[in-house]
């Protein structure tokens, strides 16, 4: 039973920090002692959203409010003026959809034994799933790979309450773990919200119908384990979801100019790394690539870094500032070539730079330096459906109307498209021709070997 105190009643809280809220052993009892101050959010996508007081308590923390200053689509905002939305509203939307899906399953299948506590846990996971996100394109800065697992660390802190693998839930409720982040088939409420939200702000039509997915979602037993399935006739609706994803990547996320801007911001951040100082715990100072080690410093790491560099008077930031000014003034690097990569050969920029230096070392008339040529490939420009070359629908199980407890899967298809894009920092035609010529020579050489 939740607290029945009338609106406006106040209860003194013993735990003041987000860390304390989540790690408190008796957190559910604690949530019942919170003042009955639920909140209604008027969301641009889902309309009026009611959130439980505990969710509101998490939202009203410094750590969560950091998401107000993280653009959902990063540098895409420089190409699409409408893409100004932030991770704050997306996280609230995910919590809302997570709650709706849990309630739909509980209503349709009471035998699952889904409790209000389960619902609240899943909503907390949805609300907090982006707390480990880095600031605008900051993940492009060269930091040790181990540090980039920060997002996973946050998820371990907040999601372990709903994952039977850790504690608190039996394996019979493992399907709850698939609601926010579904590693099995990538069909989860996180994508459902950001598809709808991104399409809305980008002016791209979203053909996926979440209401139909809610209507037909059902938990079935697959190979002895419970999974969230949907009706066989809903396969087309799910294909529309992934078609929407593909279109978003093709027209927005992986837009040619977006990639150029991402590359320029990445370069600027790397040049500014050691000159940006951020205060952390115990008065320690951190730079961009080490702030991730300290949670107090990390909380201050938002998209403001871009403006801090752009308007800085520090001479050490002059090179980084010049690059960001070029973005604002639209003096962008040029795309000299685009190739559809049909082989399994791995393309590495460092290898191209090494080859290029050897080829041009005896040619003084070549004015383009290796560092003037940027290659974006593979993980950066992969047009897939969230599961590389696999068909995500093949990992989704369906039930039939006349036999809701029996499930089947669809035939597999391949879903993958890779593109290599080559950019040159120098805008003159001669330099662009040189960059394109040498890249094509190198690309032909490695594919013949």
pLDDT digits (tens, 9 = 90+) for 36-50: 577 899 999 999 999
Q: Determine the topology of domain 334-392+416-449 in CATH.
A: Alpha-Beta Plaits (3.30.70)
- What are the structure tokens assigned to 11, written together? 């209860």
**Hey, which CATH number is domain 18-254, 1.10.10.10, 3.40.50.720, 1.10.3210.10, 3.40.50.2000?**
1.10.3210.10
**Residue 286 backbone dihedrals phi, psi, to 5 degrees:** -130, 155
Helix (H) or strand (E) holding 348: none
Distance CA 188, CA 103 (A): 15
pLDDT of residue 292: 86
DSSP 189-233: HHHHHHHHHHHHHHT------HHHHHHH-EEEEETTEEEEEEEGG
- What are the structure tokens assigned to 425, written together? 């920092």
% of the chain beyond a pLDDT of 70? 75
pLDDT digits (tens, 9 = 90+) for 227-274: 898 887 887 888 888 888 888 988 999 899 999 999 999 999 999 999
pLDDT of residue 45: 97
Q: What is residue 157's three-state secondary structure?
A: helix
DSSP 393-440: GGG-EEEETTEEEEEEEPPP---EEEEEEEEES--SHHHHHHHHHHHH
Q: What is the mean pLDDT of residues 187-195?
A: 94
Q: What is the mean pLDDT of residues 212-240?
A: 86
What's the whole-number average pLDDT of the chain? 80
- What are the structure tokens assigned to 428, written together? 């003159």
Question: Comparing C-alpha atoms, which of 403, 439, 409 is closest to residue 424?
Answer: 439
Q: Please name the residues in contact with 321: beta carbons below 8 A apart, sequence gap of 6 or more.
A: 268, 309, 310, 312
Q: What is the mean pLDDT of residues 286-312?
A: 92
pLDDT of residue 169: 65
**Residue 120 backbone dihedrals phi, psi, to 5 degrees:** -65, -40
User: Band of the pLDDT at 1, cuts 50, 70, 90?
Assistant: very low
pLDDT of residue 412: 34
Over 80: is that where the pLDDT of 152 sits?
A: no
User: Band of the pLDDT at 146, cuts 50, 70, 90?
Assistant: very low
**Residue 205 backbone dihedrals phi, psi, to 5 degrees:** -70, 135
Distance CA 310, CA 333 (A): 18
Can you give the residue ranges of every domain in the chain? 18-254, 334-392+416-449
Over 80: is that where the pLDDT of 115 sits?
A: yes
Q: What is the mean pLDDT of residues 114-126?
A: 95
Question: Comparing C-alpha atoms, which of 29, 23, 19 is closest to residue 61?
Answer: 19
Q: What is the DSSP letter of 55?
A: H
Residues facing 279 on adjacent strands: 285
Lowest mean pLDDT among 243-247, 340-344, 366-370, 427-431: 340-344
Distance CA 425, CA 320 (A): 14
**CB-CB contact of 217 with 105 (8 Å):** yes
**CB-CB contact of 228 with 175 (8 Å):** yes
Over 60: is that where the pLDDT of 123 sits?
A: yes
- What are the structure tokens assigned to 89, written together? 């509203």
Q: Please name the residues in contact with 61: beta carbons below 8 A apart, sequence gap of 6 or more.
A: 17, 18
Over 80: is that where the pLDDT of 392 sits?
A: no
pLDDT digits (tens, 9 = 90+) for 3-14: 433 444 433 333
Residues facing 49 on adjacent strands: 41
């Amino acid at each position: 039973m939740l607290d029945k105190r009338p609106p406006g009643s106040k209860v003194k809280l013993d735990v003041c920090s987000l860390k304390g809220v989540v790690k408190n052993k008796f957190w559910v009892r604690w949530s019942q002692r919170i003042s009955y101050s639920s909140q209604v959010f008027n969301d641009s996508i889902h309309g009026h959203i009611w959130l439980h007081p505990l969710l509101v308590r998490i939202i009203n923390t410094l750590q969560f409010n950091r998401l107000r200053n993280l653009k959902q689509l990063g540098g895409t905002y420089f190409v699409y003026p409408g893409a100004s939305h932030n991770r704050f509203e997306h996280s609230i939307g995910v919590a809302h959809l997570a709650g709706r899906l849990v309630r739909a399953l509980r209503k349709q299948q009471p035998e699952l034994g889904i409790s209000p506590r389960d619902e609240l846990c899943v909503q907390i996971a949805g609300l907090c799933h982006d707390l480990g996100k880095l600031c605008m394109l900051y993940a492009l800065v060269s930091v040790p790979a181990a540090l980039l697992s920060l997002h996973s660390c946050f998820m371990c802190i907040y999601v372990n309450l709903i994952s039977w693998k850790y504690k608190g839930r039996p394996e019979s409720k493992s399907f709850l773990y698939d609601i926010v982040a579904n590693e099995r088939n990538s069909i989860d409420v996180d994508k459902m919200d950001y598809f709808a939200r991104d399409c809305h702000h980008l002016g791209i039509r979203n053909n996926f119908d979440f209401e139909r997915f809610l209507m037909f979602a059902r938990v079935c037993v697959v190979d002895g384990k419970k999974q969230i399935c949907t009706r066989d006739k809903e396969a087309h609706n799910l294909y529309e979801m992934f078609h929407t994803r593909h279109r978003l990547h093709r027209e927005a996320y992986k837009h040619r100019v977006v990639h150029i801007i991402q590359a320029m911001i990445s370069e600027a951040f790397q040049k500014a790394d050691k000159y940006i100082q951020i205060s952390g715990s115990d008065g320690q100072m951190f730079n961009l690539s080490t702030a991730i080690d300290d949670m107090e410093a990390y909380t201050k790491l938002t998209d403001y870094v871009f403006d801090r560099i752009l308007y800085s008077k520090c001479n050490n930031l002059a090179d980084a500032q010049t690059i960001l000014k070029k973005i604002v003034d639209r003096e962008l690097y040029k795309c000299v070539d685009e190739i559809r990569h049909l082989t399994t050969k791995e393309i590495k920029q460092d290898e191209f730079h090494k080859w290029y230096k050897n080829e041009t070392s005896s040619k003084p008339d070549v004015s383009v330096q290796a560092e003037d040529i940027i290659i974006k490939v593979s993980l950066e420009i992969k047009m897939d459906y969230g599961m590389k070359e696999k068909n995500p629908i093949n990992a989704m199980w369906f039930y039939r109307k006349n036999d809701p407890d029996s499930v089947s899967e669809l035939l597999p298809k391949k879903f993958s498209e890779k593109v290599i894009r080559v950019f040159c920092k120098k805008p003159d035609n001669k330099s662009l021709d040189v960059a394109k010529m040498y890249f094509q020579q190198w690309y032909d050489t490695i594919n013949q070997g």
